[in-house]
Amino acid sequence: MAEKKTKDAVALLKADHRIVEELFEKYEKASGDGSKQKLAERICLELSVHAKIEEEIFYPACEGKVDEELLKEAYVEHDGAKILIAEIEAGEPSDEFYDAKVKVLSEQVEHHVTEEEQRIEGIFAQARKAGLDMDALGEQLAARKAELTATYKKSGLPTPELTTIGA
Ligand SMILES: [Fe+2]
Ligand SMILES: [Fe+2]
């Protein structure tokens, strides 16, 4: 990245959302199995890293500061996404339900992103209002994101680590 200054936490997480939305749009337009698979793998990587840095760093910082129900729903939504991600990772574009899985994942992510980004009521807005140190969190998120991206690229995505299913 050419930027010198680290993004604050919300800017970093929102930028991730935009990247994934763009990839989903490209997937919709893609035709060949090869390009579909590449895009799907990129989506799975981006989302896996993103969910993990939120669950490791951002959501815990929101505890007690953001509406508890909303935060709990966010964890469950992440787990739903992780299950579909694992399915997509294990499959290939010629599979009967592959496109449908990518589509449903995009719809679930869209809903989840709204809950995070919604003005005033959203997780990010509540966290900012509560005075979280977004610069410090942004640095932590960026560092962990770089680390996880490198690991996942090297050794593949982990089997889904579900936070709420069965809990
Ligand atoms: Fe997010
Ligand atoms: Fe999230």
pLDDT digits (tens, 9 = 90+) for 69-90: 999 999 999 999 999 999 999 9
Report whether pLDDT(167) > 90.
no
- Confirm if 125 and 13 have CB atoms less than 8 A apart: no
Tell me the CA–centroid distance for residue 118 and ligand 2, in Å: 13
pLDDT digits (tens, 9 = 90+) for 132-160: 999 999 999 999 999 999 999 999 998 88
Mean pLDDT across the chain: 95
- Please name which ligand lies nearest the alpha carbon of 75: 2
pLDDT digits (tens, 9 = 90+) for 87-119: 999 999 999 999 999 999 999 999 999 999 999
What's this model's pTM, rounded to 2 decimal places?
0.95
Tell me the CA–centroid distance for residue 17 and ligand 2, in Å: 9
Those residues whose beta carbon sits under 5 angstroms from the ion ligand 1 are 13, 116
Tell me the CA–centroid distance for residue 93 and ligand 2, in Å: 26
Q: Tell me the C-alpha to C-alpha distance, in Å, between residue 134 and each of 11, 19, 57, 61, 125.
A: 9, 20, 11, 10, 12
Q: Tell me the C-alpha to C-alpha distance, in Å, between residue 164 and each of 57, 73, 83, 109, 122.
A: 17, 10, 12, 17, 21
**Dmax (CA) of the chain:** 48
3-class secondary-structure state, position 81: helix
Tell me the CA–centroid distance for residue 151 and ligand 2, in Å: 20
HSE on the CB side for 32, CA within 13 Å? 3
Distance CA 114, CA 140 (A): 23
Tell me the CA–centroid distance for residue 70 and ligand 1, in Å: 13
- Interval 32-41 mean pLDDT: 97
